[in-house]
Chains A and B, each alone.
Chain A
Amino acid sequence: MQEPGKECTWILERIEPYVDDELHGEELGRFERHIESCESCAKELALAREVAHELRELPWYSCPEHVSEEAAIRIGADADEAGRTWLDRLRARFSGGILSMPRPAVAAALIVIVAAVVLVLSQKDLPFFTGGAPSGEQEVTVEELEKAKNDAILALAYVSKYCRKSGEILQNQDIAGRLNKPLEGTSIAPIRPFPLIRKETP
């Protein structure tokens, strides 16, 4: 039987999942039994329910009309400008029809355009293919990078800790045993099919 304090801690950690109907089975039963008998937890649950309810009642705000009108002007102006220039260029260049242009010139122009597209697309954070937001504008501070570096090292340290603690180091042989190519600097040939190696300490 758990002490009351500990049980209340257990309940408090599950109040929000309970509000969202995410507790089931034995957990749900345990939660509801405790709430019936503990005034302080019941009060906390009531507050959690009220907060969730009031959040869902918070209003949406209507965007002022002038915002979309100004955006439309920006878009309309840009599209018109680009359209005229593009059309003008086409008309000027192909007034005699495409056959009037020398073919090597057409092909060379195509190569230059495609090469430029490939170069541009080889940069990261372009939304077209990723379906993601143009996110390149975000800044990252040195402190954030330092923290992230330490976090990455921490993760790697956990991997190496458990490999070491088990009495083994994640050997190149383990990886080579699972991979096609032999590792650089080793003469370990890959084995296929790949055996499952268990290293159980007694």
Chain B
Amino acid sequence: MRLNKLFMCLAVILAVAVFAVGDTKAEKKDYTKHPGYVEFDATAIFGDKEPQVEVYLSQPMLKLVGEFAKNEDEDLQNLLGNLMLIRVQVYGADREDIDKFISQSSGTVKSLKKKGWERVIRVREDDENVSVHLKPSSNYEYLEGIVVIAAEYDEEEAIFVNIVGDIRPEDVHRLSGYLGVSELENIRYERKNKR
């Protein structure tokens, strides 16, 4: 009799686990509803102009890329496996467009603050205007999103980056010093040449 009860309890627990798995999957699918996602409409400033750099990576591609990079970079695999979306847009922009970009982005920044985002870096100089924002999870155990909004007058570029997903503290160092400035320039140079 006791054994019967034990079996039935186990069955109920497993059944509950099924629905938990299902719910988790349903939540993860729509990244636009994820708290780390930030909508940024560049068309109001740039119209249909093609960005110089455009990156749009979502799951399950991110997981595949992580698996692909596993042998050379296990840290990258861990980081990408937990992300839902990586988005980068870099527009060529003259002074007038950059001023509009900064003006529009200040509206975005205000709305970020209301949604619990925190600005951790702010730079305002003659030749550039940068802000970096983080979104902690509701239980403050990890980050749900990162946003970079940057404008460079000399380079004539306006940049928007949004990384969405579960960014664990142990993965943070990947962001803090992943590549030097020169490596980034090399990658951008390569991409521009390929266009």
Question: Chain A 102-145 against B: per-residue CB contact (8 Å), 1 yes, 0 no?
Answer: 01100110110011011001101110111110000000101001
Q: How large is the interface on A (under 10, 10 to 19, 20 to 34, 35 or more residues)?
A: 35 or more
Residues of B within 8 A of A (CB): 3-4, 7-8, 10-11, 14-15, 17-18, 21-23, 25-26, 29, 43, 46-49, 53, 55, 57, 60-65, 68-69, 76, 79-80, 86-88, 118-125, 128, 130, 132, 134, 136, 139-143, 146, 148, 150, 159, 161, 163, 169-170, 172-181, 183-184, 187-188, 191
From A108, A111, A121, A163, B132 is in contact (CB under 8 Å) with A163
Contacts of B47 in A (CB 8 A): 10, 13-14, 17
Contacts of B123 in A (CB 8 A): 162, 165-166, 199-201
Kindly state the separation between the CA atoms of A15 and B61 in the bound complex, as whole angstroms.
Answer: 34
Kindly state the separation between the CA atoms of A16 and B80 in the bound complex, as whole angstroms.
Answer: 36
Task: Please state if A175 and B134 are interface contacts (CB–CB under 8 Å).
Answer: yes
Q: Is A34 in contact with chain B by the CB < 8 A criterion?
A: no
How many whole Å from B128's CB to the nearest CB in chain A? 8
Contacts of B87 in A (CB 8 A): 155
How many whole Å from A159's CB to the nearest CB in chain B? 5
9 smallest beta-carbon distances between A and B, as pairs: A13-B47, A107-B7, A129-B22, A157-B184, A170-B176, A157-B179, A114-B14, A14-B47, A151-B55
6 additional A-B pairs beyond A153-B179, A159-B132, A174-B134, beta carbons within 8 Å, are A16-B48, A17-B43, A117-B18, A155-B57, A158-B161, A178-B134
Q: Name the segment of A58-66, A76-84, A179-187 touching the other chain.
A: A179-187
Task: Please state if A159 and B4 are interface contacts (CB–CB under 8 Å).
Answer: no
**Contacts A153-B178, A153-B187, A170-B172; is A159 near B148 (CB within 8 Å)?**
yes
Residues of A within 8 A of B (CB): 10, 13-17, 22, 103-104, 107-108, 110-111, 114-115, 117-118, 121-122, 124-126, 128-132, 140, 142, 145-146, 148-166, 168-172, 174-176, 178-181, 183-184, 190, 192, 194, 196-201
Contacts of A158 in B (CB 8 A): 88, 148, 150, 159, 161, 184
How many whole Å from B16's CB to the nearest CB in chain A? 10
Q: 30 interchain pairs (CB within 8 A)?
A: A10-B47, A16-B48, A104-B7, A107-B11, A110-B7, A130-B25, A140-B64, A142-B68, A146-B68, A152-B57, A153-B76, A156-B163, A156-B174, A157-B179, A157-B184, A158-B150, A159-B175, A161-B184, A162-B121, A163-B121, A169-B177, A170-B120, A170-B121, A170-B172, A178-B134, A184-B170, A194-B118, A199-B120, A199-B122, A200-B123
